[in-house]
Amino acid sequence: MLKNEETPQTLGRYRIDRVLGRGAMGVVYLAFDPHIQREVALKTIRSELLNANPDEAAAAPAHDLTSRFLNEARAAGRLVHPHIVSVYDYGDTGDTAYITMEYVRGESLAARLAQHRRAATRMAPARVLGWFAQLLDALSYAHDAGVIHRDIKPANLLIAQRGECKITDFGIAQLDTSHHTQAGTLIGTPSYMSPEQFTGEAVDARADLFSAGVVLYEMLTGACPFTGTPAVVMRQVLNDMPGAPSGLAPDLPPALDAMVLKALAKRREDRFASASQWRAALIALIDTMQHADDADDIDRTIVTMTEPAPAFELPQADAQAASMQWPPELLARLEQRLASHVGPMATVLVRRAAAQAGDSQALSAQLAAHFPDDVARREFDALLAGHAGPVEGGASAVTLDTALVDDATRRLAAYVGPIARIVASRAASRTNDAGTFYLRLVDAVPDEKDKAALRRELGLSAD
């Protein structure tokens, strides 16, 4: 079907519209799913790799791409998060295997960095840190689910048109039940690989955090800290510590230097213990920067922080609230909705308000000023439906009633057909509040008029 890389008219049930890109594995197409009536991205594997002789595959590492392709479907398919590109399906037509993925309108972070290099400019630090907080949130979620990406780099991060940062390409991800790559195997992209990946040690989540540190360095300065031939890069990663980011970007505060260099520590024990710990430190730093009196005062305020930076704990008020946690899935959804109005700083606003609010009404009141109109405010309030407030240890405040799920499934089926039960089941397994559950169902409806109709049926405000 893909001989000479000709564009097929269909692949499985999908109508192929155009080519989005080509790579070592095959072609990525923009396609249309007639059952769900939505655009999707189809990532295919070349037929010669799919049909490779097993003996040849063992002798030629390139043919291992087939198993990595299936690994990507399994790894990303278990993850449902606003900042991870969703995988919907895996298919095989006989001579072509493909993954059906969320189509993200936007561009890769690599493309965005290239634009800035051509213009001899750097990304705005506030925007960089907002995107990076989203990346850490997604990594925390993936690691908790037992998935280590192992190839975090700008080319695998997408910047959507609405401003979200999304992780893609889990082709070499390590699953908690996977034996896809054993200790002693060198795998990844050299300039973004951790020291333990180069030495062939078994990796854990801290390898992703090292790679994320390289990405953050590049976003802040415009330059990758490790460059050259693979041999040179390996020597640098194993032995050389890059200079502080402020050496290339003098406007960056010392506390941010310390944070980046901590992430790039050679010994994994010296890095952040987890993505969630790093994210808490980053939010605290962003909060300090945001609430300075003016741009000139930002540097003076942060210079007073102890050097080298300590463990980057949350401010005392936030730390006291940490034992009374809002559900992480709910906070991620709130951030995503607010981001459409205020951009990446939504992360800071929501997390700070959540640390101070004792109930959903107080949380809504603290964020009300950031919405442009009453319609947007009501939509936000719908997300909070069913949540009285934070609960001890982050336990669920409520659970979804079976009758509620069944009723919503029947309503959704009128717009998307039999797949409604799958969509509703997945949504119910990922959240415990009715508002978030309903909005996930609405997001599965492709037609805007149908979306509005389902919103009304479920008691949500119209767009």
Predicted confidence at residue 91, as pLDDT, reads: 82
Question: Is 407 known to be catalytic?
Answer: no
Per-residue pLDDT of the chain in tens (463 residues, 90 and over written 9): 444 456 678 888 999 999 988 766 678 899 999 988 899 999 887 655 555 544 443 333 444 556 666 766 777 677 888 899 988 888 877 778 888 889 999 999 999 999 999 999 999 998 999 999 999 999 999 999 888 988 999 999 999 988 889 998 876 667 664 444 444 445 678 999 999 999 988 899 999 999 999 999 999 999 999 999 999 999 999 999 999 999 999 989 888 999 999 999 999 999 999 999 999 999 988 877 766 534 444 444 343 333 333 333 333 434 333 334 677 767 877 887 787 666 666 777 787 788 777 777 778 777 876 776 666 677 777 777 756 556 444 444 446 788 888 888 888 888 877 677 777 877 887 777 788 888 888 888 877 788 888 888 888 865 4
Q: Is the distance from CB of 247 to CB of 225 less than 8 angstroms?
A: no
Superfamily (CATH H level) for 3-102: Phosphorylase Kinase; domain 1 (3.30.200.20)
Domain range summary for the chain, segments of one domain joined by +: 3-102, 106-313, 325-385, 402-458
Pair 192, 131: CB distance under 8 Å: no
Contact call for residues 212 and 151 (beta carbons, < 8 A): no
pTM for the whole thing? 0.61
Q: Cα–Cα distance between 422 and 128 in angstroms, integer?
A: 36
Q: Is 2:44 a contact under the CB 8 Å cutoff?
A: yes
Of the candidates 343, 448, 337, the one whose C-alpha atom is nearest the C-alpha of residue 384 is 337
Between the alpha carbon of residue 272 and those of residues 40, 167, 190, 258, 263, the distances in Å are 36, 20, 21, 12, 6
Task: In whole angstroms, give the CA distance from residue 411 to residue 108.
Answer: 36
Catalytic residue (choose from 33, 64, 137, 151): 151
Which CATH number is 106-313's, of 1.10.1200.10, 3.40.50.300, 3.40.50.150, 1.10.510.10?
A: 1.10.510.10
- Binding site annotation covers 43? yes
Q: Do domains 3-102 and 106-313 have the same CATH topology?
A: no
